Amino acid sequence: MYLHYMCKNSNKKIKKINICEETNLPPDGWIQGCIWCKIPTSKTTYYKTYETKDVIYTLNLHLCKDCINYKILDSSKNIKIINNYIDKYYLISCGSNSTSTSL
């Protein structure tokens, strides 16, 4: 609901980005590779919101049930790996000096 509130108070575009690992699956399909183990999954997990001058990005990760249960996102080491992956392949800076909001 925080994102909805932010958007009411600004004229910025909202871009929803589902981050997944590359697979042989159709790129626009609802099943994609888990960001951590590459297993095909339809599950997405909210990761963070990143705001630029003109756009509000909502980043969601494709994480399979096993990686969710293993609590991949609870480790700061894993978060750093995922942030580096996003920086490299999606060109969105998620480092400590970016303006981002995570739940």
What is the predicted pLDDT for the residue at 4? 46
Residue pLDDT, tens place only, 2-55: 444 445 556 889 999 999 998 999 888 889 999 999 999 999 999 999 888 888
Per-residue pLDDT at 93: 66
Kind of pairing, strands 40-41 and 13-19? unpaired
Position 101 scores a pLDDT of: 47
pLDDT at 94 exceeding the cut of 70 = no
Per-residue pLDDT reduced to its tens digit, 48-80: 998 888 889 899 999 999 999 999 899 999 999
In terms of pLDDT, which residue wins out, 92 or 31?
31
Whole-number pLDDT of residue 89: 84
C-alpha 6: how far from chain center = 18
Closest CA to 31 of 64, 67, 2, 1: 64
Distance CA(70)–CA(50), nearest Å, equals 25
Question: Mean per-residue pLDDT for 79-99?
Answer: 75
